[in-house]
Amino acid sequence: MIIFDPSWYIKVKKSQVQFKAPLKDYCTYAIGGPAKELAVALTKEELREYLIDAKRLNKKYIVIGKGSNCLFDDRGFNGLVIVNRIQDIEWKESSVVVGGGYSFSLLGIQASRKGYTGLEFASGIPGSIGGSVYMNAGSGDLETKDVLEEVEFLHEDGRIEIYKRDALQFSYRMSIFQKMKGVILSATFRLKLSLDAKEKQEKLLAYRMETQPYKERSCGCVFRNPEGDSAGRLIDSLGLKGLTQGGAKISETHGNFIVNHNQASAEDILDLIRYVQIKAKHHAGIVLEPEVKYIPFDE
């Protein structure tokens, strides 16, 4: 763990803060009322200033990337939403350094097309680099931690720290960042050459598009898999696929996806989540834990 003095940052003119920006435009669910304030950060310098200002002025704030694991309240968010759009990327001989706002799926596709293996599983995962590290996103037997080297993290007081992978306490859909306040600025991933990386990536993406509602509005998987089982298999066994509530529907393609089928509200999604949890507990004795993060109006 290395701590950097942030004084080398040059003060920049920040992009304009938006007021009453509709949060449905900043998440994959396309659900959510207006944010009291919203700022899109394109650089590390901008992001640092937004974070420091929020702390100094005692503002409620959240930081999001692609909004793929978020469910915003129908009333919006009564505070500042900072959108991490830092999309720098630097390819090195045996690693790649990527900004926190970069698409994890795009990184997986690009790496495999350059002949590098290890990130094939990322293609099709809808989150940003920051979100994928934060959640230790994965598919099948592979997770973000398996190819991660280090993370550049910005604390809300302006300090920047470099965390090596072994210090990040990774487990299934968990990392140390879920206990910290701040934002992931960038991540460094290991690269290893492979002749069949592109073929593997294309097969994985084709399978994902066939077995998941890839073209519908969703947050990805709604529930964490219970130990030794699959949430999708469990929901399927309960006969809940296709169930609707308002504009929300449990996908008929994959039971662990709740899709915005027809102008769904956040309450529609939450009602289906609660119903599935009740059914799983009553019929299978299993407590399903949501993977999606519901963000209330007054968090």
- CATH 3.90.78.10 fits domain 215-283: yes
pLDDT of residue 139: 86
How far is it, in rounded angstroms, from Cα 1 to Cα 268?
A: 43
Pick the CATH number of 89-198 from 3.30.465.10, 3.40.1010.10, 3.30.360.10, 3.40.50.300: 3.30.465.10
Q: Is 27 a catalytic residue?
A: no
Pick the CATH number of 8-84 from 3.30.1330.40, 3.30.43.10, 3.30.365.10, 3.40.1010.20: 3.30.43.10
Per-residue pLDDT of 128-168, as tens digits, reads 999 999 999 998 889 999 999 999 999 999 999 999 999 99
Contact 24, 72 (CB under 8 A): yes
Q: Which of 221, 224, 227, 267 is catalytic?
A: 221
Alpha-carbon torsion (221, 266, 60, 34), positive or negative: positive
Q: Is 173 a catalytic residue?
A: yes
pLDDT of residue 171: 94
All residue ranges of the chain with pLDDT < 70 are: 1-15, 299
pLDDT of residue 9: 35
Question: In Å, how far are 98, 112, 224 from 106, measured between CA atoms?
Answer: 11, 10, 24
Q: Which of 48, 173, 217, 219 is catalytic?
A: 173
pLDDT of residue 8: 33
pLDDT of residue 7: 38
How far is it, in rounded angstroms, from Cα 156 to Cα 58?
A: 11
Q: Is 70 a catalytic residue?
A: no
pLDDT of residue 1: 46
pLDDT of residue 14: 52
Q: Where are the domains of the chain?
A: 8-84, 89-198, 215-283
Q: Name the DSSP class of 171.
A: B
